[in-house]
Amino acid sequence: MTLAELATTLKLECLTPRLAVEAERDIGYGYVSDLLSDVLAHAPEGGVLVTIQAHLNMVAVALHAGLAGVILAGGRRPDADVIERASAEGVPLWLANEPAFDLVGRLYELGIRGRRA
């Protein structure tokens, strides 16, 4: 399943529409955490991150961890500078109004699994 298909199925709001090509990447794994050092240490490369961290450090961590994209849960909309940085760095951002717990449950139903890095 691609990130774009996930976004459509879960009715996620795309915050970085200029990254449509990146959204076509296949996603098989996911990770949920709000502790960015944990994400760096354990998130699977090429996976999708679910978090409520909507600041610039989240973009840097996603980039260094090699994540395919980030879903911001709980309606945590980032500031414009965060969206601009994510677009410039090629990190697709999506916004979900659902809480992280519910969102991860829906990802699991769609076949996205956690994996140790």
* 78-112 pLDDT, tens digit each: 999 999 999 999 999 999 999 999 999 999 999 99
Which pTM value belongs to this model? Answer: 0.93
Alpha helices per DSSP H over the chain: 3-10, 36-42, 56-65, 80-89, 100-109
pLDDT in tens, 17-54: 988 766 678 888 999 999 999 999 999 999 999 999 99
The answer for residues whose C-beta is within 8 angstroms of residue 26's C-beta and 6 or more apart is 1, 2
CA distances from 3 to 35, 38, 79 (A): 23, 22, 22
